[in-house]
Amino acid sequence: MTIKDSTLMSQADSKSKKSMNPVIILLLVVLAAVLMTYFLDSGKFERNGKLIVPGTYQVLEKSVSPVNLINIYPQKEAAHAVSLLDALVSIPEAINKQSGMIFMVLFIGGMFGVLNKVGAIETGLERMLSATKGNVYILVPAMMIIFSMGSTFMGMAKEYLLVIPMVVAMANRMGMSSLIGLAIVAIPVKVGYLASITNPYALSIAQPLVGVPVFSGMGMRIFVYVVLMIIGILYVLRSIKKEAKNNTIEMSWDSAKLPTRHTWVLLTLAVGIGFLVYASQTWHWKYNELSAYYLSLGILFAIVGGLTANETVDAFVSGMKKVLIAGVLIGLATAVAILLSKGQILDTIIHSLASVVGENNSNLAAYGMFFSQLLIDVAIPSTSGQAAVTMPILGPLGQLAGVDPHTTVLAFLMGNGATNIITPTSSGLLIFLATAQVGWGQWARYIFPFFLIIILCAMAFLSLSLAVYG
């Protein structure tokens, strides 16, 4: 690495360190939730089970005093402004409540740790590069499709960090900038999250919270994936055409046959994804079953990949550490919902949003959900954390406005994914930028037109989803 390269990497790392930790952001959201219980009316809807009965909202009387903020005694009133002690207690309460979800996320991370240790994905990518012989119109679309499949089916994102330097180097050898190399990886990964065909990080959390089976409504998400991938590929190829002097270049990639073990690992992964979809749809697996499945896959990858017991455990624990922050964010996000519920202002928020949107205007409601997610994602870029905060609100809001739960989930996916492709508060994006040695300003200027295209497409997708699901 040259001195210039080291300087660029140090600058990128410095920018990443200066960004606010998402835990701090969510702690501020927790504090905001406490204050909201003092400034918003308490109220409630009548419910039929978990479903809100429209038109039944009523305001509740409550005593609001600044003294309540430092109250150290449990408050027995039906409606009350919560204290700082309530806020602290809500955090372990939330972690306990969402323990199944948190362990599922940790086991997903462990599974990916084992998969990365085996090295099958990286080797398979290298053989694919050799097969295309450097033809940019075959090479780039093929790579983007493979990267997108990992994110849209399995929720992979940071797992591509080791791939980014290789793709950037390939782009440089073809006469293109590091920005294009980053785009070849980042755009399909973000599009994969936008569609989330079977992405467990998004769907295993968001869909149960609105009362639909995990991975249901897949047809619409496949359509979203195909359309956005076509647009994404064309966007990158257009950029390449501007930069590259020669669109077809012969390169000396390793053309050796894919190792037998890696072939079997990749086949196991493909079969595992298919069975996951079938089992979740057929047996309605919950968090405990999903956690056990991801643990089993990790062990299976290790056996097929030839890892020792120690290597497997080390890789699994290392993978869990990488996603530990997601578990913390889920706990903090759920604490917000608990505080809103204790202060009995959650129904007030739902009622206010429904009043603005209109209970019978499903199109306007769907668009409102999408744009609200765009804004919320700036403060809470975590997909799982944002789902835990917003789905309990958007689900009932969708019911009141006549929006099907699958469209509500789609609005969440579109809003969360669109902002994450450009927002500087996204730790995942900043890590991508640092690895590729690309500045955020440079990336923002490049990706902004694509960001606008996503917004327009998202509105069209939501209208189509309303027509399909009613």
Query: What residues contact residue 211 under an 8 Å CB cut-off, 6+ apart?
Result: 50, 51, 395, 405
Angle between the 324-342 and 22-39 helix axes, to the nearest 10 degrees?
0
Give the HSE-up count for residue 89: Cα atoms under 13 Å, Cβ half-sphere. Answer: 11
**With b meaning 16 or more CB within 10 Å and e meaning fewer, what string describes 410-437?**
bbbbbbbbbbbbbbbbbbbbbbbbbbbb
Q: Output DSSP code: residue 42.
A: E
Consecutive H or E run containing 47: strand 47-48
Q: Output DSSP code: residue 73.
A: S
Q: Output DSSP code: residue 77.
A: S
344 neighbors 43 (Cβ within 8 angstroms): yes
Query: What residues contact residue 123 under an 8 Å CB cut-off, 6+ apart?
Result: 258, 259, 262
- Amino acid 77: pLDDT: 62
User: Which of 47, 95, 324 lies closest to 211 in space, CA to CA?
Assistant: 47
Q: What is d(CA 306, CA 365) in angstroms, rounded to the nearest whole number? A: 52
Domain limits, the chain = 3-56+97-469
Residue 20 Cα to chain centre, angstroms: 19
Q: How many of the other CB atoms lie within 10 Å of CB of 134?
A: 19
Query: What residues contact residue 227 under an 8 Å CB cut-off, 6+ apart?
Result: 457, 461
pTM here is 0.65
User: Which of 330, 329, 332, 273 lies closest to 297 in space, CA to CA?
Assistant: 273
Alpha helices (runs of H) in 308-439, residue ranges in sequence order? 309-322, 324-342, 346-357, 362-379, 383-401, 405-420, 427-436
Which residue bears the tokens 């959201």?
29
- Amino acid 20: pLDDT: 56
Dihedral sign of CA atoms 76, 82, 87, 88 in order: negative
Query: What residues contact residue 111 under an 8 Å CB cut-off, 6+ apart?
Result: 294, 295, 297, 298, 301, 316, 319
User: Which of 132, 128, 203 lies closest to 163 in space, CA to CA?
Assistant: 128
- Amino acid 427: pLDDT: 64
User: Which of 427, 327, 344, 354 lies closest to 106 in space, CA to CA?
Assistant: 327
Query: What residues contact residue 308 under an 8 Å CB cut-off, 6+ apart?
Result: none
Which residue bears the tokens 């050796």?
256
Query: What residues contact residue 74 under an 8 Å CB cut-off, 6+ apart?
Result: none
Q: Give φ, ψ of 53 to 5 degrees.
A: -95, 110
- Amino acid 175: pLDDT: 72
Angle between the 260-283 and 287-305 helix axes, to the nearest 10 degrees?
170
Q: Give φ, ψ of 244 to 5 degrees.
A: -75, 135
- Amino acid 10: pLDDT: 41
Which residue bears the tokens 């492709």?
421
Q: Output DSSP code: residue 246.
A: -
Which residue bears the tokens 């994110």?
151
Intervals of the chain under pLDDT 70: 1-22, 48-55, 72-78, 124-126, 128-134, 158-159, 161-162, 244-256, 281, 353-360, 378-380, 425, 427, 470
Q: What is d(CA 255, CA 134) in angstroms, rounded to the nearest whole number? A: 12
Dihedral sign of CA atoms 8, 10, 14, 17 in order: positive
Task: At 198, list the tokens.
Answer: 């079977």
